[in-house]
């Protein structure tokens, strides 16, 4: 593109943001409905498939536009380079050599550099563990009670070494060295020993022991290990009816701006306040939880199906979209590149361009961030779209509207979902698929799980003779996934939360957790699940199910107070969730 055209494009981009009309050769650029603000309603962007390049001007748009031609050229280069293996040389050098003056090459180079830096950083972190002492040597230090040497080991490696101890007696020296020392010890050492003690629950001796280790980790630091210790220590005390002792841990967690345990700590503070009769504190904590984490399962639990609470979560005004960022204009070129690549059908390459944007997107305008989330979805990365929208919702809860929630909870392949053989609620299956694969039929996990419902090939073959390739077929994957999940529901007598935990971690682990954490308080059990992935998985799918019913099964209006039980009862083969119990 000539320098004159670059200047002209920049002027048009500024006009789009300010709402001022900009004349173009061959006609005027389409104007936003809200021209005074320079933004376009989200519904228009989604329904009309509008992209920023269409608004900026004809020279950027598809069917002959210069940038569109360059996108085709770049996509062709990448296909040929991939076949030759030349891409391994690095996009930066080979792109500029093969297609000089192509405007997409600098964006690809930036992405390549960022990716290499991230890879190097990850490799460096891994090297600390891989080049350090092995699990066997660390286990020896545990045997000796050498806390000094253990203090230089990551919590990941400490946990790995502790797996080598089937009995607690072998850890007696470490136990005494940590708890018998009046001063501080590394929080990771105390926290990992607390986690190991949980393996011997429900023995009261080990419950007290784990609580003591977590108390030590709390006193000795403020990092991830200490936060984990505070979380688990607080739940142990609540489990034993000692809410007052749990409060000091919960306050520390709830005072954080963000973090894995903030929403949960607010929920349990509310629980303890209500239990003690402190209605004012309970009301304040409930308000903060529903205000700051309106889409969390813990927030929905407090609603108990009250229509007024559900309605209040949705903002009545439609969010606006900005195609370009004025705060971070350097993000606009990679977004333009992504738009043109989407138009040219090169969705995977478009996602590479959006990678350049995502790491810095938090400093951009909310309307621009919503647009980038929509672009991610158009390029086929629903998981990326969910992640970006989740961050937007947290930063600006007023953006939670029916329109953005339909982006956050898309419904795909519903014809297959409602016609699967086990007559399971299609919205529950949609909730599982959203979490497992983001409706990507070609999804593959690092562990080898495949397709929409992320089935392991071995699990699928136990039910039916099927090839790996067939697991990427939507009908096959859903049929087998539903069959497997239906079996888990039968095993747990329609208890969806236990079935979901088993779907994620396996029935054997769920049985072990049920043996360890004996309680009639289902939310306490779910929050005490020691695997973070499973702990989050269950509550996220339960939350998904709630909103799929609200958005698609119930219709435009939220149900009246007390109606959610009737909604669930009307579904085929109703399943049990804590949020629908009284």
Contact 350/342 with Cβ under 8 angstroms? yes
Beta strands in 3-119 (DSSP E): 23-24, 27-28, 40-41
Q: What is the DSSP string of 398-443?
A: GG--HHHHHHHS----HHHHTT-TT---HHHHHHHHHHHHTT-TT-
Tokens encoding 116? 């290499």
- 280: how many CB neighbours lie within 10 A of its CB? 8
Distance between CA 116 and CA 107 in Å, rounded? 14
CB of 440 within 8 A of CB of 452? yes
Q: Omega of the bond prior to 202 within 30 degrees of 0, cis?
A: yes
Separation between Cα atoms, residue 351 and residue 377, nearest integer Å: 10
In sequence order, the β-bridge partners of residue 40 are 321
Distance CA 195, CA 416 (A): 43
User: Is 436 known to be catalytic?
Assistant: yes
Q: Which of 365, 436, 441, 470 is catalytic?
A: 436
Measured at the CA of 396, the angle between CA 328 and CA 278, to 5 degrees, comes to 145
CB under 8 Å, gap of 24 or more: what pairs does 286-293 form? 289/263, 291/397, 292/262, 292/263, 292/266, 292/394, 292/397, 293/262, 293/263, 293/266, 293/394
Where in the sequence numbering do the catalytic residues fall?
436
């Amino acid at each position: 593109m000539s320098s004159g055209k670059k200047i002209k494009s920049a002027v048009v981009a500024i006009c789009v943001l300010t709402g001022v009309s900009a004349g173009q050769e061959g006609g005027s650029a389409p104007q936003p409905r809200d021209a005074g603000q320079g933004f376009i309603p989200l519904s228009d962007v989604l329904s009309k498939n509008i992209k920023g390049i269409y608004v900026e001007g004809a020279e950027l748009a598809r069917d002959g536009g210069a940038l569109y031609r360059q996108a085709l050229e770049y996509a062709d280069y990448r296909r040929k380079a991939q076949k030759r293996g030349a891409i391994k040389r690095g996009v930066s050098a080979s792109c500029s050599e093969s297609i000089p003056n192509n405007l997409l090459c600098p964006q690809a180079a930036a992405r390549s550099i960022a990716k290499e830096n991230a890879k190097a950083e990850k490799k460096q972190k891994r090297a600390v563990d891989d080049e350090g002492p092995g699990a066997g040597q660390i286990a020896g230090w545990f045997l000796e009670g050498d806390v000094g040497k253990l203090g230089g080991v990551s919590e990941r490696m400490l946990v790995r070494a502790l797996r080598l101890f089937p009995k607690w007696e072998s850890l007696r020296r470490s136990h005494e060295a940590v708890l018998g020392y009046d001063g501080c010890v590394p929080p990771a050492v105390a926290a990992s020993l607390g986690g190991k003690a949980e393996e011997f629950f429900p023995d009261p001796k080990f419950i007290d022991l784990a609580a003591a280790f977590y108390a030590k980790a709390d006193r000795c630091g403020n990092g991830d290990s200490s936060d984990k210790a505070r979380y688990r220590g607080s739940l142990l005390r609540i489990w034993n009816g000692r809410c007052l002792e749990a409060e000091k841990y919960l306050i520390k967690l709830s005072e954080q701006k963000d973090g894995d345990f903030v929403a949960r700590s607010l929920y349990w503070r509310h629980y303890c306040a209500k239990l003690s009769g402190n209605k004012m504190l309970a009301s304040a904590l409930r308000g903060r939880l529903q205000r700051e984490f309106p889409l969390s399962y813990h927030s929905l639990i407090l609603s108990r199906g009250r229509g007024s609470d559900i309605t209040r979560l949705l903002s009545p005004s439609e969010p606006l979209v900005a195609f370009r960022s004025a705060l971070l204009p350097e993000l606009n070129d990679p977004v333009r590149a992504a738009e043109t690549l989407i138009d040219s059908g090169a969705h995977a390459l478009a996602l590479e361009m959006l990678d350049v944007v995502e790491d810095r997107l938090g400093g951009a305008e909310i309307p621009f961030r919503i647009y980038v989330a929509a672009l991610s979805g158009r390029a086929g990365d629903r998981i990326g779209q969910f992640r970006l929208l989740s961050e937007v919702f947290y930063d600006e809860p007023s953006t939670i509207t029916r329109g953005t929630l339909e982006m956050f909870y898309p419904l795909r392949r519903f014809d297959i979902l409602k016609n699967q053989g086990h007559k399971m609620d299609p919205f529950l299956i949609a909730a599982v698929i959203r979490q497992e694969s983001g409706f990507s039929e070609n999804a593959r996990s690092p562990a080898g799980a495949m397709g929409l419902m992320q089935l392991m090939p071995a699990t699928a073959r136990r039910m039916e003779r099927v090839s790996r390739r067939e697991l990427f077929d939507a009908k096959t994957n859903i049929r087998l996934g539903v069959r497997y999940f239906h079996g888990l529901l039968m095993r747990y007598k329609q208890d969806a939360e236990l079935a979901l935990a088993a779907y994620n971690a396996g029935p054997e682990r769920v049985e072990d957790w049920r043996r360890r954490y004996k309680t009639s308080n289902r939310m306490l059990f779910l929050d005490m699940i020691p695997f973070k992935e499973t702990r989050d998985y269950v509550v996220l799918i339960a939350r998904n199910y709630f909103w799929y019913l609200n958005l698609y099964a119930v219709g435009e209006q939220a149900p009246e107070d007390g109606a959610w039980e009737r909604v669930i009862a009307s579904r085929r083969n109703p399943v049990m969730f804590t949020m629908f119990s009284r």
